[in-house]
Amino acid sequence: MSSRWGWTAVAFVTAVLFLLPVIWMVGTSFRPPLEYVSTSIALVPGAPTLAHYRTLIDDGILGKVLNSLIVAVGSTGLALAAGFPAAYALARLRLPARLDIVFLLFVLLIKLSPPIVLAIPLYQVLRAFGLLDTLAGLIFVYQVYSLPFAIWMLLGFVRDVPLAYEEAAMVDGAGLARRLVTVVLPIMLPGLISTAVFLMILSWNEFLYALLFIQTPSKFTLPTYIATLITEDETFWGKLAAIGFLASLPILAVVGVVQRGLTRGFAGGLK
């Protein structure tokens, strides 16, 4: 039995070591500035303060949160709207010349290639459409990765919908659009929701395209705003920690709520 307790101790120490940076972040977000410019290794602030959170609100952090939300909801909505019909077609319809395989392999190549390689031509495309430095432009550009992700994930969920249900609806005279809305969508609703959650996280955290295609500070999303704080020479640790904690809260909440469903998707290589 003693080896069992030894094992437990090792596991707990490892878990705490892994969490240490996160614990540090939460502690620092409540720490007065004088305390973090020190050589102490204490994790819990001596005199907790909400000053950093107040500074963030004065800096217009809520505007950045709103930008991030608009882009996340917009790009998720667009990816689902275009991805669901595509996934259905790929799963159910007979396509000529193995178009489905070609399409899926191309999607895979894009999904796996580095975002920077498309950045230069995308910049020029956005400029041509007058979408540079707009949130709408960002929503479109995020489809480069959101749409393939949506299609791959939804494909599996469409395949799980029993064909018999659709055939029954067809016998009753329901057309394609009607079948999709009344039969297929309701059955795969859980799958649709977990896909949406992943898409939201994907664009909530996206950095490179937001950095390259948005220039006006008032249109920054959270990651680009955080980056401006990191690269400045002055140490804004308290502010950084506070914003880091805030930016993580929605994701931690979501992960906590739908933990089971997420594991499958995470293991599928979201990042």
Partner 1 sequence: MLLTPALLLFAALTLYPLARGILLSFFVTDYGFAGARFIGLENYADLLGDRFFRRASWNTIAFTLLATAGEVGLGLMLALMVNRRFPGRWIVIPSLVAPFVLSTMVVTAIWRAWFHFDFGFLNNVLRAVALPPVEWLFDPDIALLSIVLVDVWQTTPLTFLILLAGLQAIPLEVYEAARLDGASPRRMFLDMILPLLMPHIFLAALLRSIDSFKIFDKVYALTGGGPGNATETLSMYVYRLGFRFFDIGLASAAAVVMILIAGALAAVYAARIIKGADHV
Site for partner 1 in 62-81 (CB under 8 A): 78, 81
Rule CB under 8 A: say whether 50 interacts with partner 1. Answer: no
Angle, alpha carbons 222-143-249 (nearest 5°): 30
Rule CB under 8 A: say whether 118 interacts with partner 1. Answer: yes
DSSP for 63-120, written as a single string: HHHHHHHHHHHHHHHHHHHHHHHHHHHHHHS--GGGHHHHHHHHHHHHHHS-THHHHH
Rule CB under 8 A: say whether 191 interacts with partner 1. Answer: no
Residue in 69, 89, 169, 187 binding partner 1, rule: CB under 8 A: 89
Angle, alpha carbons 212-76-180 (nearest 5°): 150
Q: Which is nearer to partner 1, 65 or 241 (CB)?
A: 241
Q: Least distance from C-beta 150 to partner 1, angstroms?
A: 9
Residue in 44, 93, 102, 168 binding partner 1, rule: CB under 8 A: 93
227-242: burial string, b at 16+ Cβ within 10 Å, e else? eebeeeeeebbbbbbb
Residue in 36, 55, 63, 69 binding partner 1, rule: CB under 8 A: 36
Residue in 24, 134, 165, 169 binding partner 1, rule: CB under 8 A: 24
Task: Give first-to-last CA distance, the chain, whole Å.
Answer: 40
Rule CB under 8 A: say whether 30 interacts with partner 1. Answer: no
Residues 130-159 that bind partner 1 (CB under 8 A): 140-141, 143-144, 147, 151-152
Q: Which is nearer to partner 1, 187 or 227 (CB)?
A: 227
Query: Angle of helix 143-160 relative to helix 99-112, nearest 10 degrees?
Result: 130
Cβ atoms 244, 230 nearer than 8 A: no
Residue in 8, 48, 57, 66 binding partner 1, rule: CB under 8 A: 8
Rule CB under 8 A: say whether 97 interacts with partner 1. Answer: no
Residues 241-260 that bind partner 1 (CB under 8 A): 241, 243-244, 247-248, 251-252, 255, 259
Q: Within a 10 A sphere around the Cβ of 208, how many other Cβ atoms?
A: 13
Residue in 21, 96, 173, 175 binding partner 1, rule: CB under 8 A: 21
Rule CB under 8 A: say whether 120 interacts with partner 1. Answer: yes
Rule CB under 8 A: say whether 16 interacts with partner 1. Answer: yes
Q: Least distance from C-beta 2 to partner 1, angstroms?
A: 13
Rule CB under 8 A: say whether 230 interacts with partner 1. Answer: yes
Residues 155-184 that bind partner 1 (CB under 8 A): none
**What is the Cα–Cα distance from 221 to 211, expressed in whole angstroms?**
9
Helix/strand/coil percentages in the chain, nearest 5 = 80, 0, 20
